Every structure is written in C-alpha cells, then in structure tokens.
A and B are shown apart, each in its own frame.
Chain A
Amino acid sequence: ETGVTQTPRHLVMGMTNKKSLKCEQHLGHNAMYWYKQSAKKPLELMFVYNFKEQTENNSVPSRFSPECPNSSHLFLHLHTLQPEDSALYLCASSQRGLAGVPRPDNEQFFGPGTRLTVL
C-alpha cells in the first residue's frame, strides 16, 4: 500500500462512452499527477496539479479532462476515446514546496493504476 488508491482497477468502454477514473491520496501531499503507461513506452506524464491548480498539460487531447476538487482527490474524465488510448493510467502524488518547486524529498508515490481498454 503506497497511500494512493485508484478506482476502478479495470475499465472497458466503447468509443462513445463517458467514464471517469478516480484517484485518492492519503499522504497529505499537495501535488497530484496523471500518467499514461502504454506497452513498450516510457511512462508519459499527462497532467500535474499543484495545490489543486493545473500546472502542466502535456499536450493531452481534449477527450481527457482532469479535475482536482481538493488536494486529496483527482479525477480523469474520459469521453469519445480511441482504441489507441487503451493503456494503464497511473495516478501519483508528492509533496512540493510552496512555490510548486520540487524538493529533494518529494518522491512521487503511485497508485496501482486503472487498466483501460477502449473497444
């Protein structure tokens, strides 16, 4: 247990469906992240939230829509996805300095991921 939980663990959806992924961290961290992990590719950072504000959007298509209602919860809303969006979606959290700058001890802790399959 890393202190970061994700639901659901597995999701199968059609291209016209709308679904949401949920992440919750119990570590008191102030930054949360969404990553995409595809087969044979390095982890790809998608979004970063510092103190509930989105600070990074790594050219992610608009069919992925993040939401961070508070520092403990992070959502990823999905709509009209494509089969190539099938992947493991990982959430992570860390503690950042007041200016949002990484600190030496701000290792990221990952959740178990949601395995998404788009048909």
Chain B
Amino acid sequence: GQQLNQSPQSMFIQEGEDVSMNCTSSSIFNTWLWYKQDPGEGPVLLIALYKAGELTSNGRLTAQFGITRKDSFLNISASIPSDVGIYFCAGQGNMLTFGGGTRLMVKP
C-alpha cells in the first residue's frame, strides 16, 4: 500500500527559531494536506495543497506541493510555545494516507 515517510520524527527547538519538516511518498497524490494535533485532541487541518508546485501560506506556516506530486514540506517561521504538537502530512488519493507525524517541542 501507499506509505508516507515524514521527517524528522521529532524536533526540540528554541522559541523564535524556524522549523521545517517534510514528507515523501513512493506514490503520486492529487492533494497534500498538513494537519496539527494537540494533546488529547483530533488533528486540525492547517494547509491544503491542490496543484503540483503550489506554495501556500497560512500565517507563519508555509507549505509546498512538490513538482513530482510525491513530496511536500511545511515550514513554520518564528516558532512560539503554542506551536507545540504533532504535525501530520497526508496524501489524498482515493483515501487519505497519513505520515507518521513530526512531534514539535518548543522551549520558551
């Protein structure tokens, strides 16, 4: 089946630093999605990407859909403590396939 490789698995950074995480796949996806999950909650959609090469921003978040449609990255600029959580990429084919998540920890 389809698999998404998400890296890094975890990050521990200083407040104010920029963050970058990415996902790669052996399969092509029509849509890439990035979700954030806070402790004890369900994932919340951050950014949706629909076209190869598309670059989309949402506040301090920027995500890009790779040209090959097999990868995507998410950047967070000037991190703050509330950015703490688990970030998931997901590729939309017939079903959503999720990456393993990147756990982000921010030190004030």
Binding site for B on A (CB under 8 A): 2, 4, 6, 41-43, 45, 48, 56, 90-92, 101-102, 104-113, 115
Q: Which residues of A contact B67 (CB under 8 A)?
A: none
What is the minimal beta-carbon distance from B80 to any residue of chain A, in angstroms?
Answer: 22
For the complex, what is the distance from the CA of A116 to the CA of B32, rounded to whole Å? 29
> Which chain A residues border B74 with CB–CB below 8 Å?
none
CA–CA, A110 to B43, complex, Å? Answer: 6
Complex Cα spacing A20 to B9, Å: 33
In this complex, what residue of B is CB-closest to A110?
B42
Q: How many A-B residue pairs have CB under 8 A?
A: 50
Measured in the bound complex, the distance between the Cα atoms of B40 and A113 in whole Å is 8
- List the interface of chain B (C-beta within 8 A of A): 4, 30-31, 33, 35, 40-45, 48, 50, 88, 92-96, 98-101
**Interface contact A104-B42, CB-CB below 8 Å:** no
Contact B99 A112 (CB under 8 A): no
B42 and A112 contact, CB distance less than 8 A: yes
The reply to whether A112 and B100 contact each other, CB–CB distance below 8 Å, is: no
What are 26 A-B residue pairs whose CB atoms fall within 8 Å in the complex?
A2-B42, A6-B42, A42-B4, A42-B98, A43-B88, A43-B98, A45-B96, A92-B42, A101-B94, A102-B92, A104-B30, A104-B31, A104-B50, A105-B48, A107-B45, A107-B48, A109-B45, A110-B35, A110-B42, A111-B42, A112-B40, A112-B41, A112-B42, A113-B41, A113-B42, A115-B40
In this complex, the member of B4, B94, B99 whose beta carbon has the largest number of chain A beta carbons within 10 angstroms is B94
B4: chain A residues at CB < 8 Å are: 42
Do A42 and B42 have beta carbons less than 8 Å apart? Answer: no
When C-beta atoms are compared, the residue in chain A nearest to B88 turns out to be A43
In this complex, the member of B50, B98, B99 whose beta carbon has the largest number of chain A beta carbons within 10 angstroms is B98
Q: How far is the CB of B24 from chain A (nearest CB, A)?
A: 14
CA distance A113 to B41 in the complex (A): 6
